[in-house]
């Protein structure tokens, strides 16, 4: 595999291409590019700067696109020694890493982020909210400040800044932390002829875990048939708990255990609601194969020199001094992130291929949801978009149900 190093990194007249003994990926971004910075964060790769700090410090006044000709600025012997060492470390650092996830999954959702457009702001409502400085979340609200045309700036996300790959807003309106009370500042660019629609994966984490368990043969208990829209009521029936446990109780138990809560804390939540909290917890643990999966993840973590596990898709999750319950949480959360993005990418691919991005205009990704600005003339087609996202790459034919709702109520 050949990798290109930017001339801005090496200080050479042209980019340099070197060969790496690694066949797991054909398209590594150029070293020195934003794409490569993404890759090294995902794989927790630490590469040295070239040249060493003393020489970099001398020329720190140079910035931007200026390429410093290091070969002319350093003693020849020092340059050759440091450059040779830099290339050696690059080759060593990139040789033994499996980059399949980056090529087959991570880069496949780039278009999803490229098509996001600025959202229209109701300026008078925005100003009304700003008048009350005592309200929580004002600093987040200010990130939605409209321009003269009445639009917020375009949102930019990072997929590589968190342990599990959960999105982080790096610039623009911070939709991930916007108080729900402030959502009424957002409006359709078509005013009354359109609306903001929220496509949301229902019960994504438990559904992802059951499906991946089945694909990996992790759990001793396989669910029967296909998973219906209401997964929690389905599990009550599967576990013969009809009339003994209500939907909210089973949901609380499942979500708590999947998110790494201790048995004692779950018992505390259920003790005045369920007759036998311990028995319910045992049933859920067995049904989802949680102990088997935690043991598998713990073994994977302990056997890796760099202290990481991989989600179902192969994304590495690096963490130090982490308990099996936290590893379980990271695995589920990270897998669900990739699943949702791949599902949304299918929807965007269809919008691009049918030239309908203008009337179904993507605005934000909010955890397990995609927010679209939809013209009223095509709103009746939104359920068909939801159908497109129901099957997710690499997760077989199992349905992952999307529900559409108005984002601004």
- The one-character DSSP state at 31 is B
- 151: tokens are 């639009």
Residue that finishes a domain, picked among 63, 79, 104:
104
Q: pTM to 2 decimals?
A: 0.93
Residue 230 lies in a domain: yes
Parts of the chain with a pLDDT under 50: none
**Angstrom distance (rounded) from CA 340 to CA 109:** 10
H/E stretch holding 176 reads none
Question: What pLDDT was estimated at residue 318?
Answer: 95
Taking the CA atoms of 182, 183, 187 and 193 in sequence, report the sign of the dihedral they define.
Answer: negative
All residues at 6 or more sequence positions from 295 whose CB lies less than 8 Å from its CB, including other chains = 324
The answer to whether 141 and 182 have CB atoms below 8 angstroms apart is yes
End-to-end CA gap in the chain: 52
- Look up residue 121 and give its two tokens: 């702001």
Residue for token digits 């048939």?
225
Give the end of a domain, one of 297, 312, 327: 312
Look at residues 312, 345, 368 and tell me which one is the last residue of a structural domain. Answer: 312
Is 409 exposed, middle or buried (CB count within 10 Å of its CB: 0-12, 13-18, 19+)? exposed
**For residue 154, is it within any domain?**
no
The reported pLDDT for the residue numbered 221 is: 54
- How far, in Å, CA of 112 to CA of 369, rounded? 13
Q: Which two tokens stand for residue 309?
A: 């596990």
Q: Which two tokens stand for residue 79?
A: 């340059």
Domain that residue 269 falls in: 209-312
B/e letters for 123-144, b = 16+ CB within 10 Å, e = fewer, are eeebeebeeeeeeeeeebbebb
What is the per-residue burial (b if ≥16 Cβ within 10 Å, else e) of 363-373? bbbeebbbbbb
pLDDT at position 218 is 60
In a domain, 231, yes or no: yes
Distance CA 373, CA 197 (A): 6
150: tokens are 């009445």
Residue 355 lies in a domain: no
Q: Is residue 245 part of a domain?
A: yes
The pair of structure tokens assigned to 47 is 């590469």
Q: Is residue 177 part of a domain?
A: no
310: left (phi over 0), alpha (psi -120 to 50) or beta: beta
Whole-angstrom Cα distance, residue 191 to residue 122? 10
Determine, yes or no, domain membership for 376: no
What is the pLDDT at residue 63? 52
Q: How many domains are contained in the chain?
A: 2
- Would you state the pLDDT for residue 156? 97
**Position 383 in a domain:** no
């Amino acid at each position: 595999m050949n990798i290109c190093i930017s001339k801005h990194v090496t200080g050479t007249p042209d980019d340099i291409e070197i060969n790496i003994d690694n066949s797991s990926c054909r398209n590594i971004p150029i070293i020195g590019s934003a794409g490569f910075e993404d890759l090294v964060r995902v794989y927790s790769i630490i590469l040295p700067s070239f040249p060493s700090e003393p020489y970099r410090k001398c020329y720190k006044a140079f910035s931007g696109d200026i390429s410093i000709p290091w070969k002319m600025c350093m003693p020849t012997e020092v340059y050759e020694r440091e450059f040779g060492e830099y290339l050696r470390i690059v080759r060593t650092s990139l040789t033994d890493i499996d980059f399949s996830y980056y090529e087959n999954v991570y880069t496949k959702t780039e278009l999803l982020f490229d098509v996001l457009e600025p959202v229209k702001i109701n300026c008078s409502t925005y100003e009304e909210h700003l008048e009350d400085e005592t309200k929580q979340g004002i600093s987040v609200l200010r990130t939605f400040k409209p321009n003269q045309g009445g639009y917020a700036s375009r949102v930019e996300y990072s997929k590589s800044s968190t342990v599990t790959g959960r999105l982080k807003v790096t610039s623009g309106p911070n939709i991930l932390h916007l108080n729900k009370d402030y959502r009424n500042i957002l409006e359709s660019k078509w005013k009354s002829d359109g609306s903001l629609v929220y496509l949301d994966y229902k019960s994504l984490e438990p559904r992802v875990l059951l499906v991946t368990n089945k694909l990996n043969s992790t759990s001793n208990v396989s669910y029967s048939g296909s998973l219906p829209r209401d997964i929690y009521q389905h599990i009550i029936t599967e576990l013969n708990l009809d009339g003994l446990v209500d939907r909210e109780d089973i949901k609380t138990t499942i979500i708590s255990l999947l998110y790494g809560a201790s048995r004692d804390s779950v018992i505390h939540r259920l003790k005045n609601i369920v007759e036998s909290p311990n028995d319910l917890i045992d049933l859920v643990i067995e049904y989802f194969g949680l102990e088997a999966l935690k043991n598998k993840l713990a073994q994977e973590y302990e056997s890796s020199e760099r202290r990481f596990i991989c989600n179902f898709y192969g994304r590495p999750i690096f963490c130090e001094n982490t308990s099996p319950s936290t590893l379980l949480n990271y695995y589920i959360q990270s897998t669900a992130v990739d699943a949702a993005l791949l599902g949304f990418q299918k929807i965007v691919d269809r919008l691009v291929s049918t030239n309908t991005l203008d009337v179904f205009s993507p605005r934000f990704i909010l955890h397990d949801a995609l927010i679209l600005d939809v013209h009223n003339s095509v709103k009746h087609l939104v359920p068909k978009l939801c159908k497109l996202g129901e099957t997710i790459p690499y997760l077989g034919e199992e349905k992952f149900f999307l529900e559409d709702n108005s984002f601004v109520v």
